[in-house]
Structures are given as C-alpha cells and as structure tokens.
Amino acid sequence: MRRLALSDEILLSIDKPARYIGNEVNAVDKSASPELGKMIRFCMCFPDVYEIGMSHLGIQILYDMFNKREDVWCERVYSPWPDLDKVMREKKIPLFALESQEPVRSFDFLGITIQYEMCYTNILQILDLSGIALHAEDRGEEDPIVIGGGPCTYNPEPIAEFFDLFYIGEGEVAYDELFDLYQEKKRTGMSRRDFLLRASRIEGIYVPQFYRASYHEDGTLASFGPTEEGVPAKVRKRIVMDFNEVSYPDAPIVPYLQATQDRVVLEIQRGCIRGCRFCQAGMIYRPLREKNVERLKRQAEVMLKNTGYDEISLSSLSSSDYSELNELLTFLIRICNDKGINISLPSLRIDAFSLDVMSKVQDVKKSSLTFAAEAGSQRMRDVINKGITEEDILGGALEAFRGGWNKVKLYFMLGLPGEKEEDVRDIAHLCEKVAECYYDNIPKEERTGKVSITASSSFFVPKPFTPFQWARMDREQEFLDKAHMVKDEVRSMLNQKSIRYTYHDAYISVLEGVFARGDRRVAQAIEKAYRKGAVFDAWTEYFDEERWQESFRECGIDPYFYTARERDTSELLPWDFLDCQVSRDFLIREWKRAKEGAVTPNCRQRCSGCGCRVYNGGVCYESQD
C-alpha cells in the first residue's frame, strides 16, 4: 500500500485532506519502473491551494508532455493551506510531491508556474517548507534546480533572486533541450554552475544570477546585462508555431475535490487579434494561432471519455474570433446534449449567434451574460483599443433580453490612462442604459421579474510588454475616489435598484502594480513581508495591508516609484532585456495612439506591424495559407 507523507492524525485534523494524498484518476505513477533511478524527477508547482492549482491548464499540458518522456517523471505540489502549513513547521515535515509523496528537496527540478503577482509570497512558502534556500545563490549541488514560468515571468525581476532559471515563453517548446542537458549533467557530473551556464545559452532560458543591474541616482535603471561570457544579453521568448501538432493531454488528471475549473478544458486557439492596449496576454501570446477544428473535435471526445467530466469549456482569449466556431459548437452540442454534458462558453462576444448557441446549452433563466465593456465611455474604450461600441453592448443586451435572459454582468476598469471624471461617471450611465433597454423593450407581460445588472470594477494595473507599460498608475485613494464616484452616480440613476456595483481592493492592486513593473530591489520587500507572515495574499482573509506597508518602509522602498510614475519611453525598463518579438517601436506607436484616442484595427483587418510576422505563421499569414 502507498505510504503517505502525512500521518492519519495530521490528515484527519486538517481541512480537506484530499488535497494532499494524490492518487487521482490519470495521475502518473512511475514509482514501480525499473528505470526510476535514471529518471529526471520534476516537481511541478502551482503556488496556490490545490483546488486553484488543479484548475490550471498549463500544468496539465506540461505534466502530460513531460511524462510522455520515458526518462522524466513529473509530479505535482501545491501550497499547503495555512492549517497544514502550521503543522508542517511545528513538526518539521518537509514539503512533498503528491504522486510519490517524497520530499520536494530530493527532486532534480522544482518548476513553479507564476500566473499572478499575488502568489509571490506563496513561492517563498513552497521553497521554505521544502527546505530549499530562498536565494538561488545559497543553493547547493544537491538542491533542485528551481525554474519559473508563466505570464509573470515577462518581468521576472522582483522574484529573480529566488529562481535558478526562468523559462520565457510557451512551455511546450524548449524543455526537451533543457532535459537533455540535465541528463548530460547527470552522466558527466557537471556542476550546478556549469549546468546553469549551459542552460543560459538555450533560447528562452534566463539565469538571473548571471546578470547585474545598476541604477541611476533617481532610482531608475542605468544598466542591465550579463556578467559571464557566453550568456546572452537578450533572452528571446519561445512560442509554439506548429499549433496543430503541439502536445495536448488526452487524459488530464481528475481531482476528487471539486476544483475551481471542474471540467474538460479545450484550448481552441492561442493569442488574440484584438490588440487591447491594457491586455498583456493579448500582446505576449501573439500571433494568434488556431487549432484545426477536426483535431479539436477528436480532443473533445477523447478528453470527455478519459475524464468522465460532465462539462466542457472552450479556452481562448476571445472565442468568437475562432474561425470555425460554428462547426465546433454544432459538433459539441451534438455529442454532449444526449449525455447530459454541459458546454460552457466564456469569452464569447454577445451577439445573435452566441445567444442562439447559449440558449441551446444553458438554462436561460438561471445564467447571466457577461459584457467585458472595460470602460464606461466610448472615448475611453477607444483609448484602450477595446473594439466594442455602446451600440454593440446595447444591441447584444437587447437580443439577450428578448431571448429571455435578465441577468447581465458588466466588467470595467478604473484608473485607465487619461481617464477623466466623465469617463468614470459614464460607467453608471452605461449600466442605466442597459437597464432602460430592458424596461423600454420588454413588455411587462413578458418580463420574468426585474432586470439584474451587476457591474464590477477592477483597478487598472499597467503590465510589461503592453503599450501601457510606461503609464502612470493611480494611487489607492484615487482608485477609491473613482469607485465612490461610480457608486454615487449609480445611486442617482432612475433604475438604481436594478444595478449592483462592486469594486476590488485598491491596495492589492497597488501591490500588483509594484510587482508587475518592479525591479530586483523589490525582492527584499517580498521576503520581508513573507518573514512577517504574508502568505496567500490572493485570499482576502489572509491579506494584511499593514504588513506590506511596513515591509516597504523597512526596506526603504517607495512603492509609488514603481506605480504612480509615468515613464519616459527612453527609460531602460527592468524587462527590456527580454525579447518578446512585439517590438518596442510598435508599443511606443500604440502608446501614442492611445493618447490620441486612435483605434488600431485588429490583426485580421490590417497588420499593424507589431513584429510577430517573423514567426512565419498564425494569423499574420492566414490569407496566404
């Protein structure tokens, strides 16, 4: 029988012990293989609680792909919840991987996917509980190579000193090179340092300890570059160009616990044609690459069969832009309806087509429709290049109301560059117009109660590799003033009783802003906050604003230097050494056009010369196919 790392006494005294036992359907166990001793042991980590981590598609893709290699056994680990964290520290139990239940510290690699900034302290928790030194330079020959990947690595600097390597770009491309090199290390007894030096020459691999930064007196970056010979000055991201043949799991792991994303996830395309200026994903995943519809049909069937899920969801940044959506959905409806399998359709533009599809797969009375309006006024939507007009929103809402829906969600951002008071108030006005659209057009006898409009604002955080990477971010009081302004304006609306308005935590947004565009000096504040007890910062019940303010003060770091300061386009940015193929010229052009309120057409309408044509594929070459 499998031995668990935690005793019954511990497992029965904590919440949801199923988080820590592994043994799920489709989990890979290579413990009985005679080749085990020769395998590279890779522990893949999502630094948040199990139910969140298990919902992440990227880990499922890489877990499956790594385990297809006979000389690699990839396992998983997630952040122990605070109840177990406490027990592990008290009893000095080292953090372990779910499959083998063996200590993470005994692995060859610890791979951490970094999806959002607020998980940074959880990364330190993982290292700490594993017994691995927090700083890469303090690690010994026997320690695992700690490698980071995911969207936050497009500015890895605030967490650079905690990692041996970063993998910049899409995970499917360069791992074979890295594993082959590691096998060579094992064979030849190469030192850790030599391995890292060799790894730094693999395209897409960044080894922070071989780079140094210097700063001007005003705090801005003066220089940044490699300290060792042969280490490249620029690290270029890796992306998948053969998107039809790329590895995708036929049998994803099925957790016992209900994960946040408890369904089959079918990735239909990667990238986005829209070019919204605030959206980092829309820039770093360029160019748009679609998956062949026949392959998707096969994948959907196989994954449903192998998991037994009763729901399938399409994944992409903007599903409506998938050119064979109609055919795919017709197929899915056919295979799913008689088996009682739900189809969930996020990121779909609300129009006659999508409403028709949704009415076939959802209970109209219960479901709500979501409009990502992002801004209240047309002027602001033009500034951010959100290619959606008020007519689109009201037209979509009208169609939806006629189709029987009466619940609408609207998402907005506050604090966008160049935002004025009237833009802020227009959020309330847009909500009011949607409510009026219902009462003006749906006759009393056809209404199924009041219309319900839920509007929520997040606070805008400028991200690297977007045209807004130079923008000034609001301070929390400015955010809150704007949110209150919207709230007051909503209250003065005729249909205020039908509108509910909520907004995010302002200080958390400021912190995200610091981490998103911070430099290496920010690391000490992250470590200090962790030492003071910060962990699970993405969870409001554990987030403590005071602790962070103290940490910044004690480290002599002014968070607003990183957030509330517009940068000149000539300033050297901490992430400038990364080459994302979306050119700096393009981003500067877009930043200028944003200030003029000029809309840039999407990739299918006209190429705007972002620089991604060099990849020789995707949407850039669609018509030439």
Partner 1 sequence: MRVRIKFSKTGCLKFIGHLDVMRFFQKAIRRAELPVSLSEGYSPHMLMSFAAPLGVGKTSSGEYFDLDLKEEIPEEEILERLNAQMVPGMHAESCVRIGITKAEKCMTLVNAADYTVSFRKGSVMLPDPKQLQEKLNSFLSAPSVIVLRKTKRSEAETDILPWIYEMNVTELDDRTLADHPQGTDAERTAFHMLLSAGSVSNLKPELVMNAFSEFAGFDLSALSLLIHRNDIYTNIGTAENRELVPLDRVSRIQMDRT
Strands 452-459 and 369-374: unpaired
CB of 67 to partner 1, least distance (A): 17
- What kind and span of H or E run contains 182? helix 175-188
Give the residue with the Cβ less far from partner 1, 29 or 545. 29
12 binds partner 1 per the rule CB under 8 A: yes
| Cβ distance to partner 1 smaller for residue 13 or 260 | 13
Query: What is the identity of the amino acid at 515?
Result: F
Judged by beta carbon, residue 4 or residue 564, the one nearer partner 1 is 4
Q: Quick check: 112 and 79 in contact, CB under 8 A?
A: no
Nearer to partner 1, 235 or 336 (CB): 336
Task: Give the DSSP per-residue string, 194-233.
Answer: HHHHHHTTSTTEE-GGGEEEEE-TTSSEEEEEESSTT--S
**What is the closest distance, in whole angstroms, from the C-beta atom of residue 295 to partner 1 in the complex?**
22
- 4 vs 190 by CB, closer to partner 1: 4
Q: How far is the CB of 100 from partner 1 (least distance, A)?
A: 13
Q: What angle do CA 55, 57, 61 make, to 5 degrees?
A: 135
- Minimum distance of partner 1 from residue 404's CB (angstroms): 12
Among 133, 190, 221, 254, binds partner 1 (CB under 8 A): 254
DSSP-based three-state secondary structure for 436:
helix
Segment lying near partner 1 (by CB under 8 A), choices 8-16, 213-221, 224-232, 543-551: 8-16
Find the helix packing angle between 523-531 and 120-130, rounded to 10°. 60
d(CA 430, CA 422): 12
CA distance 45 to 520: 23
Q: Which stretch binds partner 1 (CB under 8 A): 18-26, 62-70, 385-393, 589-597?
A: 18-26
> What minimum distance in Å lies between the beta carbon of 364 and partner 1?
9
Contact 464, 575 (CB under 8 A): yes
Nearer to partner 1, 361 or 451 (CB): 361
Residues 228/573, Cβ–Cβ less than 8 Å: no
Of 227, 258, 477, 540, the residue at the interface with partner 1 (CB under 8 A) is: 258
Query: How many whole angstroms separate alpha carbon 561 and alpha carbon 563?
Result: 6
* Cβ contact 442:399 at 8 Å: no
The residue range among 9-17, 240-248, 485-493, 576-584 that interacts with partner 1, by the rule CB under 8 A, is 9-17
Among 244, 256, 422, 596, the residue binding partner 1 under the rule CB under 8 A is 256
251 or 372, CB closer to partner 1?
A: 251
* Nearer residue to partner 1 within complex by CB, 64 or 143: 64
DSSP 398: H
Q: Which of residues 298-357 bind partner 1 (CB under 8 A)?
A: 304-310, 339-340, 342
Cβ contacts of residue 339 below 8 Å, gap of 6+?
A: none
From the CB of 12, what's the least distance to partner 1, in Å? 5
Mark 210-249 with x for binding to partner 1 (rule: CB under 8 A) and - for no binding: ----------------------------------------
Q: How far apart are CA 169 and CA 174, in angstroms?
A: 9
Closest contact distance (angstroms) between CB of 35 and partner 1 is 21
- Structural contact between residues 479 and 419, judged by C-beta atoms closer than 8 angstroms: no
CB 358, min distance to partner 1, A = 12
Rounded to whole angstroms, the Cα distance separating 226 from 210 reads 6
Residue from 28, 57, 257, 493 touching partner 1 (CB under 8 A): that is: 257
CA–CA gap between residue 10 and residue 84 (Å, rounded): 8
Give me the 359-378 binding string for partner 1, x by CB under 8 A, dash otherwise. ---xx--x------------
Q: Which one of residues 24, 301, 351, 478 is an interface residue with partner 1 (CB under 8 A)?
A: 24
448 scored as a contact of partner 1 (CB under 8 A): no
* Count of beta carbons in the 10 Å neighbourhood of residue 31: 13
Is 165 or 357 the residue whose CB approaches partner 1 more closely?
357
Give exposure, 567-602, as e/b (b: 16+ Cβ within 10 Å): beeeeebbbebbbbbbeeebbebbbebbeeeebbeb
32 binds partner 1 (CB under 8 A): no
**Size of residue set near partner 1 by CB under 8 A:** 32
The upper half-sphere exposure of residue 309, i.e. CA atoms within 13 Å in the direction of its Cβ, equals 28
Smaller CB distance to partner 1: residue 340 or 556? Answer: 340
Beta bridge partners of 41: 73
Which positions touch partner 1 (CB under 8 A)?
A: 1-2, 4, 8-9, 11-13, 17-18, 21-25, 254, 256-258, 304-310, 339-340, 342, 362-363, 366
